Structure formats: C-alpha cells, structure tokens
Amino acid sequence: MSSTSSSRFDLGDHVQDQDLSEEYLTSSSRDYSAGSSPLTTPALSDNEFDFDVPSENVLAEEGSIRLAPADGSEKYIMVIGGLGYIGSHTTLELLREGHNVIVVDNLSNSYKTVLKNVKMLAAHHCKVNNVAMPRLRFFRIDYRSKAMSSLLERYSKPVMAVDATSGRQVVSYQSQIAGVIHFAAYKSVIESIAQPLRYYRNNVCGLVNLLQELERFNIRNFIFSSSATVYGSKANAGKPLKEEDLVHHQVKTQNEAGETTIVEPTIEGLSCPYARTKYFGEAILADVAEADPDWRIVALRYFNPVGCDPSGVLGESPRGEPTNLFPVLTQVLKGDRSNLNVFGSDWPTRDGTAIRDFIHVLDVARGHIAALNWNSKKGNGFSTFNLGSGTGTTVLEAVRSLEQAAGREIPLSLVDRRPGDVGTCVASTERAAKELGWTTRESITKCAADLWNYVSKVALRS
C-alpha cells in the first residue's frame, strides 16, 4: 500500500491486489506433502524458516501500524499447525487479543497465503483499534523434526536451578513461550481407517516427542486439540455428552441430584483409528499431569467446527480431499463437485440424517484463548472441556441453512452410512461456561452466511 493511501485500509482491495513480497512469505522453496514430513530438518539458522510477518518497513507502508516492542523478554503463544483451518482462525484471534504468536506449520495441509491473510486481518484490526501489532513469527517445519528442538532453544535461555532430588545445581531453561496450542494432528476418519500407522505415528508418537521437548525447556502450559470422537458409542445415548462421560483417572463428581459419585475410566465403541489416537493423546496427557503437578493441560473436545472469519478471507481449504460436511458443500457450490453425498438417511433422528453439533470456528478459536487464560490463572493438572453449541442440527438442516445463505439449491444423493459414523453427537456445554466463562456467540445461520461469503469471494478472486 502506498503512502498516499495510508489513511484508508480497504480490506477487499488489499486481499486481491496487495500481495506481500515473496521474501516475507517463503523461507524455503519446499512444499511438504502429507506423506513427506521433513523428519531430518536441519537446525535453524538466522536466515532460514523464521521471519516476522510483516517487517517494520512493510507495516509502515500499510498505514503506520505500530509493532509491539521486542527486547527478548516478550512472551509468545506457540501454535503448532497454525495455518490450518482452526489453527489459522485461532492465530488470528490470538493476535486480535494482543498475544505475540509463533506459528509452526509444515504446509502439508495448508497454504502459505493463509499467513499473509492472517497478518493482513490482524493488522487491519490493530489499525482500526489504534493498538500495536503483536509479533507474528512463522517456522515452516514439521513439529516432529529435529528443528523443533532448535526452535524451542532459540526462545529459551539457560538458567541455573537446584535439582529437587539430588540438591545439585543443574542447567535449566526459562522460555519466552508462555503456552503451546497443538493442532498438528491428522484428522480424517476415513483416511485413518486406511492408514492407521500413519495416524498413530503423527498423532500419538509425535505428541510424546513434543511433550518431551516442551518439558526439557520448562514449557508446561499446553492446550490439546481433541475431538468429540473420544466419546465413541456413548454419543448414541440420545443426550448431550458431558466431560465426565470419558475420564482417564478416577474422579469425583456430582450428579443432577447433588450427590457425590465416583466416575471410573471407561471407553465405549471408539469407531476408528483417528478416535483412538485422540483418546490415547488425552490419556498420555492425563498421565503426564498426574506425574508432574507443574503441568497445566487442557484438552478441548471439538464437536463440528464450521464457518469462517466474516471477512471472507480465511476459510477451510485443505490440500487433500475434504470429508467434513461444510467443505464438501463448499465444493458443490463452487462447481468442483456435482452433488453432496448424505451418508445415511435411516438414522433414528427427526429427518433420518445424522445429528451434529455445529459450532462456528471463531467460537472454537475463542475457546482456546479462554483455556489459555484459565490455565494461567486457575489451571492445574489435566482438564477437559467440550467446545460445542449444545444444539443438535441434522445434516439436512445444515444443508438448508447454506442453501438459504447462497440462494440456490444444493444437489443431494442419499447413500449408505460410512464406517465409523455415529447417528447423534451433541455437547453439554455447562462446564466450559462455568469454568472457562466461554459460550458460543454464533448460530448455524451465521456459520452458513460466513461460509457463503468466503465461497463468493474465492470465486471473485479466481
């Protein structure tokens, strides 16, 4: 943006015409496909992988937006998988809330242009509200690679500490990373059935390695991207799912009559390897927190995130074949797919299609910030929270909401149920509201309107 236009920030024009220079967007020419993670990535150097987004010169050109100061003591939130669908919206909301952010993403299921759009939307927010632009740094690496250790070390400084067992002085670390949000899991139910080892390697083994590295650098504030699939066949009970429907250690809770009851760890009907990787991930985290009380870990059990930022700039655009409902609907509306397959029309629901708890992706993003804040003030040990609306919507009802937003009909094909699917899955949101102070703001109608806005703008830009 030229200096003559610095008094005006036109969102649409900026997205279409004002691309950042490539030097700010690429630190390596390599695109890592889903099957080629760089597990031997070299140690980081000052001119590889890492760059501020944007530079001071670029910000000055874009309307004199102020950067937050950086003197080596500033704190960051690390978002692993921060350019994916939920990760990018969470990164944006963190910046809007004033957090410095380090994004780690290997671009196996995302695009580097997402980084530019996140930066642009955050810069616009800061300019409108006359606040300093937080620091945004990007590292194009696989979180399982050797480079992850180098990255964590870069943002840590060695300090002397006394070992609690031996009483000897040892070298410890003090990190600028105040918390980590982990999104970098594979997430397709169907793909996990076909490629279980790939899912266990990334989602489970990768998590264990990550926790070991974080522990080494004394980073123990951790938010885990979990899933409602951990409830398994309990979802079919016909009532909202509560967090205590799945626990990993014995807990005491109160029933509806106010009586104290003991809940034992049980699992029922985990229907696919993806669900099992999320269950194992939670179990590992619960055990880690049980062994070391310094850990503050929250597992957020998502239900069905949909929608996108109302700007129409960020949306869900995976590299692979989408399997979730709304991305497939997007393909139908764009003409990339002839019709929507509705998997199962004989479920015991009001119209025969499966019931899901759809939640706006920005509500999910805000849930992560609420969890970070809770962890910083009250969190201890391992905690779980549902992120859902608490309202069940059938697949046909969701389709009709998008048809209304788009003003056009969506062709449907009724086909057999998929392996691993359940008929009903709706969240109880009482715990998140009471303890995190978090509730949803957006409706299914808003989800559909924002998604159609995104699809329309993508069509215009192409």
Choose among 203, 101, 90, 199: nearest CA to 143: 203
More confident residue, 182 or 341: 182
Considering just the CA atoms, what is the radius of gyration of the chain in Å? 22
> Do 359 and 440 touch, CB atoms closer than 8 A?
yes
Parallel, antiparallel or unpaired: strands 393-394 and 304-306: unpaired
H or E stretch at 289: helix 273-291
The model's pLDDT over 281-332, given as tens digits with 9 standing for 90+, comes to: 999 999 999 999 999 999 999 999 999 999 999 988 767 677 778 888 888 8
The answer, yes or no, to whether residue 26 has pLDDT greater than 60, is no
**Options 274, 279, 302, 454, the catalytic residue:** 274
Q: What is the pLDDT of residue 30?
A: 38
Which segment, 149-163, 195-209, 317-331, is predicted with the most confidence on average? 195-209
Q: What is the pLDDT of residue 312?
A: 92
* Amino acid of residue 30: R
Sign of dihedral through CA atoms 92, 98, 99, 101?
A: positive
More confident residue, 456 or 25: 456
Burial class (CB in 10 A: 0-12, 13-18, 19+), 335: exposed
- CA separation for the pair 292, 289 (Å, rounded): 5
Average pLDDT on 19-36 reads: 33
- CA separation for the pair 172, 220 (Å, rounded): 14
Average pLDDT on 41-64 reads: 43
Angle, to 10 degrees, between the axis of helix 395-406 and the axis of helix 325-334?
Answer: 40
The answer, yes or no, to whether residue 363 has pLDDT greater than 90, is yes
Residue 214 pLDDT grade (very low, low, confident, very high; cuts 50, 70, 90): very high
Average pLDDT on 77-86 reads: 97
CA 18, chain centre distance (Å): 27
Q: What is the pLDDT of residue 330?
A: 80
- CA separation for the pair 306, 315 (Å, rounded): 9
C-alpha angle with apex 434: 80 to 449, nearest 5 degrees? 60
Residue 192 pLDDT grade (very low, low, confident, very high; cuts 50, 70, 90): very high
Sign of dihedral through CA atoms 346, 347, 352, 353?
A: negative
Q: What is the pLDDT of residue 400?
A: 93
Residue 405 pLDDT grade (very low, low, confident, very high; cuts 50, 70, 90): very high
Average pLDDT on 97-101 reads: 97
Q: What is the pLDDT of residue 19?
A: 28
Buried/exposed code over 350-361 (b: 16+ C-beta within 10 A; e: otherwise): eebbbbbbbbbb
What are the phi and psi torsion angles at 196 (to 5°)?
-65, -40
Average pLDDT on 105-128 reads: 94
Q: What is the DSSP string of 325-387?
A: HHHHHHHHHHTSSS-EEEE-S-SSSSSSSPEE-EEEHHHHHHHHHHHHHHHHHT--EEEEEEE
254 — alpha (psi -120 to 50), left (phi > 0) or beta?
Answer: beta
456 — alpha (psi -120 to 50), left (phi > 0) or beta?
Answer: alpha
> Do 298 and 379 touch, CB atoms closer than 8 A?
yes
The answer, yes or no, to whether residue 333 has pLDDT greater than 60, is yes
Residues 6+ apart with CB under 8 A from 212: none
- Placement of tokens 């910083």 in the chain: 376
**The token pair that represents 42 in the structure block:** 């070299």
* Amino acid of residue 38: P
Q: What is the pLDDT of residue 345?
A: 93
Average pLDDT on 111-127 reads: 94
> How many residues would you count in the chain?
462
Average pLDDT on 195-216 reads: 97
Q: Output the average pLDDT for the chain.
A: 84
Q: What is the DSSP string of 141-162?
A: S-TTSTHHHHHHHHTEEEEEEE
Choose among 255, 261, 225, 224: nearest CA to 242: 255
The answer, yes or no, to whether residue 242 has pLDDT greater than 80, is yes
The answer, yes or no, to whether residue 459 has pLDDT greater than 70, is no
Burial class (CB in 10 A: 0-12, 13-18, 19+), 104: buried
Q: What is the pLDDT of residue 462?
A: 57
Q: What is the pLDDT of residue 64?
A: 56
3-state helix, strand, coil in the chain (%, to 5): 40, 20, 40
Percent of the chain with pLDDT strictly greater than 70: 84
Choose among 24, 17, 12: nearest CA to 1: 17
More confident residue, 179 or 109: 179
- CA separation for the pair 246, 455 (Å, rounded): 37
Q: Is 302 a catalytic residue?
A: no
CA 144, chain centre distance (Å): 17
Choose among 113, 115, 137: nearest CA to 49: 137
Residue 431 pLDDT grade (very low, low, confident, very high; cuts 50, 70, 90): very high
Residue 59 pLDDT grade (very low, low, confident, very high; cuts 50, 70, 90): very low
Residue 53 pLDDT grade (very low, low, confident, very high; cuts 50, 70, 90): very low
Q: What is the pLDDT of residue 317?
A: 78
